Structure 1
Amino acid sequence: MKLFECQACGQPLYFENSRCESCGRRLGYLPSIQEISALEPGREGGWTALAQPDTPVRFCANAEHNACNWLISADGDGSYCRACRHNRTVPDLALEQNRERWRRLETAKRRLFYTLLRLDLPLATRSEDPQGLAFDFLADPAEKSPDGPSILTGHDNGLITINIAEADDAERERRRHGMGEPYRTLLGHFRHEIGHYFWNVLVRNDPSLDRFRQVFGDERRDYGEALRVHYARGPKEDWQDEFVSAYAASHPWEDFAETWAHYLHIVDTLETASAFGLKVRPGIRRGSELAAEIDFDPHSETDLNRLITAWLPLTFAVNSLNRSMGQPDLYPFVLAPAVIAKLGFIHERIHAWSGRGPGEGEGDHILKAVIGGLNSRVGAPQSA
């Protein structure tokens, strides 16, 4: 993510800020220009955004619940912003616990949408397409009735369901340990589930489907049985040679969704590193092979090799920083060549959609070039 600052006083800002801690001005996010803007009161209860003063704005309706800081045109139709208009169901907000959990979910969801909009990906609503993107944020009935069914987080033809219990840190940590996952976050959930949605949009009815099956496997194999076997027996031995996570090994759909999530992890984190002007120059004998200068926009970069060869040194550096603080690795994964090939498929599909990438049929050439380039480098150690 890029860096933001108050247009009135220059105070550095976080993406989630709704008020400047220095000058006290109200803040809002303008997705059309990707800026957090300081605001001044406008006409009829609206606002003037200092970052775009010629366009009167108002807040998304969810700002009433302190759940959104995004802005919409004061003259536009609808009450919800580019992110919140995809909500189909929210939990009972009369309950304080539900309100707090839902706010945390919305915070993660806005970061998801920041990246999707930066990548120029298609985001149809349910009113625009019967299988358009929608979210159900549901409370687990088991919290009221121990015998009630549990809400399962998942995707079904454009509808993403999130159990709001995932917004509880202790509960999420319990599930992380119980399912043997090295990384489990709210943002990670959103990035994974949106991967299922974009498989339908970018691959399912596209000529690239045959190449998907070559890279990820045949998605026509029984999905329910594949998950049953995965949970009963665990992943196959040496799954790290082919998959980014153990869960990715369960079925090609899950492999795509897991790899998609990691692609979003990579581009968003690289943009943050670029915004800070980060350079990695390890002071060791082979440090030149782990050096990187992150001075490009990863969302518009069509050369996947450039992303990966910056990502490996960066994750080695931040993992080392985390260990210095006694924390687990920030990125506890290894990107094997087979995984990078899968990232290459996703990279090509995203950029082909936006018109920035290569034409149809050039994807295999890209993947071979990426793997060839990486084989000439020293891979950064990702975990102990």
Structure 2
Amino acid sequence: MRAFRCPHCGYAVAFEQQSCFVCSTEVAFHKPWMEMVLAPADGESTTIDDGAWVRCANWERGCNWLVAAGPETPICFVDGFVRNEPGPDDTEALKELASTLKDLRRLIFQLLDLGLPITPFHQDPKGLAFDLISSESVGHPVTIGHADGVITIDLAESLELYRERQRIILKEPYRTMLGHLRHEVGHYYEMILIAGGELIDQTREFFGDERRDYQAALADYYAGVVPDGWEHDYISHYATAHPWEDWAETFAHYLHITGTLATIADSGLLLSASRVHFDLDADINPRVHYGDGDFATMLHDWEVLSGVLNRVNHAMGKEALYPFRLTLPVVAKLGFVYHVLTTAEQGNKVDAPHRG
């Protein structure tokens, strides 16, 4: 996650912190500035750009975002995307919710940082909504998926043991709550940026014809029907299931890559060609943002830096941070996602069926 500074002492503070570890000053995230500011006291307001700002009403459960003061309950921008959540008496699910909301705030920050259109469901019938439900509480499986702007998340995935068990069963090299959120929001952006619009033909060239029966495709996938040599053409095993899933998996990886590069850049890290113990033509100086026309640079930076990060993880006895191969067909798909998100006109919204 991007680096932030304490507005009082200048020390680094994490995106989720409500107080600085060094000077103990309470801090909060201010969306218009996309920066940390001094937090107002509980029940009071602070003035920023001639406006009054207060703590999010969910400060006690870990939210550190500010919201403009007003007569309504002060729910922050991120919490405004939550349509359904566990009741106040479901203490176990509420613990899972608190962890999940941290990842949701990371997701929403990144979408804002990338300049993507994002409107909550209560402002637009086709806006984005999250139903956050725990299969551990409701007593039956909760299907993670997207349907017409509504993303359903199983809060039990925030539990490491539960998630790791699912990862092993499904033979996945990577499974995180943030990964789920990035994948599902990829379906949402396909709905509003691609479906029924002028980019649909190009999308089919890269990912295949999405008119293929989705439920039948999933049934085949879970029955073990996977293309031979799928690793050459797809970023993940699940991406083979259907063109919608290929798009969503590739979209998620675009967010993985850009989010990690931005974090490295914000932290001031670079690779010096004169100091590394391998051949490197030039220094790698990652950027917070890679604009239109910078895809090749972004890809090169990522290929080198992900190798370094993998070795760092190995030095700690952990698995690779990024256990994926970017083959030429996958690079082409990533390049198309990059093109859509940096240059395509935004705002074409149509109905779309459920996608898992």
| Common fold: TM-score over 0.5 | yes
Relative distance call for 1:299 and 1:55 in structure 2 (3 A) is: farther
Partner Cα separation in structure 2 for residue 85 and residue 354 of structure 1 = 25
Write out aligned runs for 1:310-329 (5 A): 310-329=301-320
Q: Residue in 2 aligned with 1:16?
A: 16
Aligned match for 2:298, one of 290, 304, 307: 307
CA change 1:262–1:36 in 2 (3 A) is same
- The correspondence for 2:189, drawn from 191, 198, 210, is 198
Going from structure 1 to structure 2, the CA distance change for 1:76 and 1:193 (only over 3 Å counts) comes to: farther
Paired letter, 1:243? Y
Equivalent in 218, 226, 232 of residue 235 of structure 1: 226
Written as runs of structure 1 = structure 2, the 5 A alignment for 1:335-354 is 335-353=326-344
| Residue of structure 2 in register with 1:71 after alignment | 66
Give the letter for the 2:105 counterpart: R
Q: What residue is the counterpart of 1:373 in the other structure?
A: none
Which residue of the partner structure matches residue 32 of structure 2? 32
Q: How does 1:132-147 map to 2 (within 5 A)?
A: 132-140=127-135, 143=137, 145=139
Q: Which residue of structure 1 lines up, in the alignment, with residue 279 of structure 2?
A: 287
Match of 1:266 in 2: 257
Deviations 1:18-59 (A, max 9, x none): 1122222221111111111222449xx33327xx46432112
Report the RMSD for the aligned CA atoms in angstroms: 2.1
Q: What is the number of equivalent residue pairs in this alignment?
A: 345
For each residue in 1:112-143, what CA deviation from the matched residue of structure 2 results, as whole angstroms up to 9, or x when unmatched?
01110011111122233222110001122x65
Matching residue of 2:173: 182
Q: Residues 322 and 301 (structure 1 numbering): CA distance in 2 closer, same or farther, change over 3 Å?
A: farther
- More deviation in 209-218 or 123-132? 123-132
* Alignment correspondent of 1:90: 85
Contact persistence 2:39–2:55 (CA under 8 A): no
Q: Secondary structure of 1:345's match?
A: helix
CA contact (8 A) 1:119 1:354 kept: no
Structure-2 separation of matches of 1:36 and 1:299? 23
Alignment match of 1:297 (pick from 288, 291, 294): 288
Look up the SS of the partner of 1:88 in the other structure: strand
Tell me the alpha carbon deviations over residues 357-379 of structure 1, each in whole angstroms, 9 at most, x when there is no partner.
xxxxxxxxxxxxxxxxxxxxxxx
Q: Is the 8 A contact 1:138 1:163 kept in 2?
A: yes
User: 4+ residue stretches of structure 1 with deviation over 3 A?
Assistant: 52-55, 75-78, 142-145, 281-286, 299-302
Q: CA deviation at 1:91?
A: 1.0
Question: Which runs of 5 or more residues in structure 1 are unaligned?
Answer: 356-384
Letter in 2 for 1:56: A
Distance 2:291 2:39 in 1: 29
Q: What is the TM-score of this pair, normalised by structure 2?
A: 0.91
Is the 1:270–1:294 contact (alpha carbons within 8 Å) kept by the matching residues of 2? no
Q: How far 1:144 moved relative to its partner?
A: 6.1
The residue identity in structure 2 corresponding to 1:70 is W
The 3 A distance-change label for structure 1 pair 100 and 299 is farther
1:315–1:89 CA distance, 2 compared to 1 (3 A): same
* Structure whose residues are more often helix by fraction: 1
| Residue matched to 2:2 | 2
Name the structure 1 match of 2:349.
none
- Local SS of the residue matching 2:296: helix
Q: Does 1:47 align with 2:45?
A: yes
Q: Secondary structure at the match of 1:288?
A: coil
Task: Say if 1:9 and 1:354 are closer, same or farther in 2 by CA, change over 3 A.
Answer: farther
Please tell me whether the aligned partners of residues 125 and 132 of structure 1 are also in contact (alpha carbons under 8 angstroms): yes
Contact 1:46-1:56 at 8 Å conserved across structures: no
**Residues 235, 247 of structure 1: 8 Å contact kept:** no
Deviation at 1:279, TM superposition (A): 2.1
Separation of aligned partners in 2, 1:184 and 1:155: 18
Measure the CA separation in 2 of the matches of 1:134 and 1:267.
Answer: 24
Could you tell me which amino acid in structure 1 is paired with residue 28 of structure 2?
G
More relative contact order, 1 or 2 (CA 8 Å, 6+ apart): 2
Decide whether the 8 Å contact of 1:102 with 1:164 is kept in 2: yes
User: Does the 8 Å CA contact 1:292/1:309 hold for their aligned counterparts?
Assistant: no
Call closer, same or farther: CA 1:301–1:8 in 2, change over 3 Å: farther
Q: Deviations over 1:336-365 (max 9, x none)?
A: 11111111111111112479xxxxxxxxxx
2:354 alignment partner in structure 1: none
* Structure 2: unaligned runs, 5 residues or longer: 347-356
TM-score by length of 1: 0.84
Distance in 1 separating the partners of 2:123 and 2:171: 39
Deviation of residue 14 (structure 1)? 0.4
* Distance change (3 Å), C-alpha of 1:154 and 1:279: same
Rate the CA distance shift 1:104–1:354 in 2: closer, same or farther, 3 A.
Answer: farther
1:75 is displaced (CA, Å) by 4.3
Percent identity among equivalent residues? 36
Report the secondary structure of 2:77's partner residue: coil
